[in-house]
Amino acid sequence: MTATGPILSVERLAMRFGGLVAVDELSFTAERGRITALIGPNGAGKTTVFNCITGFYKPSAGMMRLVHPDGAVFLLERLLDFRIAQIARVTRTFQNIRLFPGMTVLENLVVAQHNTLMDASVFTFAGLLGLKSYTAAERTAVDKARYWLDRTGLIARTDDAAGSLAYGEQRRLEIARAMCTEPVLLCLDEPAAGLNARESAELNGLLKFIRNQQATSILLIEHDMSVVMEISDHIVVLDYGVKIADGSPEAIRNDPKVIAAYLGVEDDEVEKVEAEVGL
């Protein structure tokens, strides 16, 4: 059976830290094979949503339903963070890049295939004895790593320490590493942060390639509107933890609520509101 409908549906998600409501009653869906963007001003709760989806936070309330292409359903709020990556196949990147800086680029990508290799190594015994089944699995892992190194243009840096890469390269490596886990949903937390115009354009190309050529849907947080507007199929706008808009890039671009959240409102409107509340 092949699944239809959204890959991820978030329903009435809430995350409270003590008295602070970071996310409140948030519902949205991410379509299969599409790029869904989550945008909003600083502090709107975007990364909190990501942390809930990937299990780094346990949400206070709500349901997150992930449906695999084969129809298997995972309720993400019930899984531990590493299980979400392992069995639900949701992989994320981080706003402040988290690589394994002392290990080489290739090792970073092979570590990402840990679970596959661990199975092949049969509790390390097959690996320790150097059995054929394990060496073959390792070769496959290296081939997959090589494929993503080629894709991200990092093949020349294969044996360099990940920490010695330039900033843009580190961003690409983090995406390559996430793709090596063969995710069904890839969550990117500000992948274009700190990139120059050319690098952003390359990133757009890479993300489009992933959407079109791989069985991976993308959910991304981004501030760079040149990225968001060009590649997103669907945009969800958050402000103060609440969804204020949801729709296609064109619709969002012209939504007065979104414009107000980002740019503020006209002066006379502020006066009108102030008069209403009696200031």
Partner 1 sequence: MNIQASGTNRRISLPLAAALKDAIFSALIAFGLFVFLIGLHTDQGPTGALVVTTRLPQLAMLVGAVFAGSLARALIFGREPIGLGRGLPPWLMRIAQHAGRLAGPALLVFALLVPVLFYHNRYLLDLGILVLTYVMLGWGLNIVVGLAGLLDLGYVAFYAVGAYSYALLAQNFGLSFWICLPLAGILAAFWGVLLGFPVLRLRGDYLAIVTLAFGEIIRLVLLNWQSFTGGPNGIASIPRPSFFGLPFNDEEGGFAATFGLEFSPTHRIVFLFYLILALALVTNWVAKRMRRLPVGRAWEAMREDEIACRSLGINTTNTKLTAFAMGAMFGGFAGAFFATRQGFISPESFAFGESALVLAIVVLGGMGSQIGVAVAALAMLGGFELYREFEHYRMLVFGFAMVTIMIWRPRGLVATREPSLYLATHKPAVSPVKQGLK
Where does this chain bind partner 1 (CB under 8 A)? 54, 56, 81-86, 91-92, 94, 98-104, 106-107, 110-112, 114-115, 117-118, 121, 124, 127-128, 138-139, 142, 144-147, 150-151, 155, 158-159, 164, 177-178, 181, 213-215
Strand partners, 17: 20
Per the CB < 8 A criterion, the answer to whether 110 and 142 are in contact is yes
Separation of CA 96 from chain center = 13
Label residue 278 left, alpha or beta by phi (over 0 means left) and psi (-120 to 50 means alpha). left
Q: For partner 1, which is the closer residue by CB, 91 or 232? A: 91
CA 74 to CA 88: how far, in whole Å?
Answer: 6
Minimum CB separation from partner 1 for residue 105, in Å?
A: 10
DSSP 161: B
- Structural tokens at position 141: 């892992």
Minimum CB separation from partner 1 for residue 186, in Å?
A: 11
Pairing of strands 61-67, 8-17: antiparallel
Minimum CB separation from partner 1 for residue 76, in Å?
A: 14
Minimum CB separation from partner 1 for residue 53, in Å?
A: 12
